[in-house]
C-alpha cells in the first residue's frame, strides 16, 4: 500500500517537523514527508529538512497582496506533490478561511496547551499565570477559527511550582514530539473520523488519546 504523503508548513526551527521526519524513517510508518514549505526563507527547519533529504519550498508571504492568494500558492505546491495531509508545525501565519476549508479534515496542528484552554501566543506563561496544575499539548484538525478545531489527542504534563515559561515549554515539547507522529500515523491508517466536532479513533479507546507524563 502506498504511504500517505504529508506536507509540513513551518516558519521557524521546525522541531515538530523533525520529529515527523524521524518517525517517517521507520519502514513500518504509514506516511512519508513529501515536502516542507516555509513562508520564511531563513527558517532553520528548512536546512534540517534538506539534510534529511526532504524537498523544501519557500513561499514568502510578503510577496502576496492578501492571505488567500498566498494560501492558494501554498496549496498548489502541496497538491502537485500529492499531499494527502497538511501538518502545521510552528507555522506562524493566520490562514484565510479558504485554506482550512479546502483542506477540511486533512489539515492538523499541534498547540502547546490543553485546548480549549490557552489558545494563541505566550501559552506557557498563560498557564503559569492561571495557576493550573496540569498543562500539555493538543493535536487538532484546523478550522477557520484559531486553535479551535476538533481535538484528536492530547498529552498532559505537570506544572511544577518552580516552573517558568521556558521550563514548562521544554517539558511540553517533549510530549509534542511523541504525540504528533502518533496522530499522523492514525490518520495515515484511516483511523480518524469526525462527527459533530468530535473525533473518533478507530481501534483506540477514548482514554488512550490522552497521554500522561510524569517527566519533570
The string of pLDDT tens digits covering residues 13-33 is 999 999 999 999 999 999 999
Question: Among 56, 76, 103, which residue terminates a domain?
Answer: 103
Domain boundary among 54, 81, 103: 103
Q: Tens of pLDDT along 128-178?
A: 999 999 999 999 999 999 898 999 999 999 999 999 999 999 999 999 999
The pTM assigned to this predicted structure is 0.95
Residues above pLDDT 70, as percent of the chain: 97
Counted domains in the chain? 2
Kindly state whether residues 7 and 88 are assigned to the same domain: yes
Tens-place pLDDT, residues 35-54: 999 999 999 999 999 999 99
Q: Are residues 134 and 186 in the same domain?
A: yes
**Residues 95 and 36 occupy one common structural domain:** yes
Query: Is 61 an annotated catalytic residue?
Result: no
- DSSP codes, the chain: -PPEEEEEEESS--HHHHHHHHHHTSTT-SEEEEEEEES-TT-HHHHHHHHTT--EEE--GGGSSSHHHHHHHHHHHHHTTT-SEEEESS---PPPTHHHHHTTTSEEEEESS-TTSS-SSSHHHHHHHHT-SEEEEEEEE--SSTT-SPEEEEEEEE--TT--HHHHHHHHHHHHHHHHHHHHHHHHTT-EEEETTEEEETTS-GGGGEEE----
Catalytic residue, chosen from 102, 111, 140, 177, is 111
For residues 60 and 146, membership in a common domain is answered with: no
Which range of residues forms the domain containing residue 3?
1-103
Amino acid at each position: 500500500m502506498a504511504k500517505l504523503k504529508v506536507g509540513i508548513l513551518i516558519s521557524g526551527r521546525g522541531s515538530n517537523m523533525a520529529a515527523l521526519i524521524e518517525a517517517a524513517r521507520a519502514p513500518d510508518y504509514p506516511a512519508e514527508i513529501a515536502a516542507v514549505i516555509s513562508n520564511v526563507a531563513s527558517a532553520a527547519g528548512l536546512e534540517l529538512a534538506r539534510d534529511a533529504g526532504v524537498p523544501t519550498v519557500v513561499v514568502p508571504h510578503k510577496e502576496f497582496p492578501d492571505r488567500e492568494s498566498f494560501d492558494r500558492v501554498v496549496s498548489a505546491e502541496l497538491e502537485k506533490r500529492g499531499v494527502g495531509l497538511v501538518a502545521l508545525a510552528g507555522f506562524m501565519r493566520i490562514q484565510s478561511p479558504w485554506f482550512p476549508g479546502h483542506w477540511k479534515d486533512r489539515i492538523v496542528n499541534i498547540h502547546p496547551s490543553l485546548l480549549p484552554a490557552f489558545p494563541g501566543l505566550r501559552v506557557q506563561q498563560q498557564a503559569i499565570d492561571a495557576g493550573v496544575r496540569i498543562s500539555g499539548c493538543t493535536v487538532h484538525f484546523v478550522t477557520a477559527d484559531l486553535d479551535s478545531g476538533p481535538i484528536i489527542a492530547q498529552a498532559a504534563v505537570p506544572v511544577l511550582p518552580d516552573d517558568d515559561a521556558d521550563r514548562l515549554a521544554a517539558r511540553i515539547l517533549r510530549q509534542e514530539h511523541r504525540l504528533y507522529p502518533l496522530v499522523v500515523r492514525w490518520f495515515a491508517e484511516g483511523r480518524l473520523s469526525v462527527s459533530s466536532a468530535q473525533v473518533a479513533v478507530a481501534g483506540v479507546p477514548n482514554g488512550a488519546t490522552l497521554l500522561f507524563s510524569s517527566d519533570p
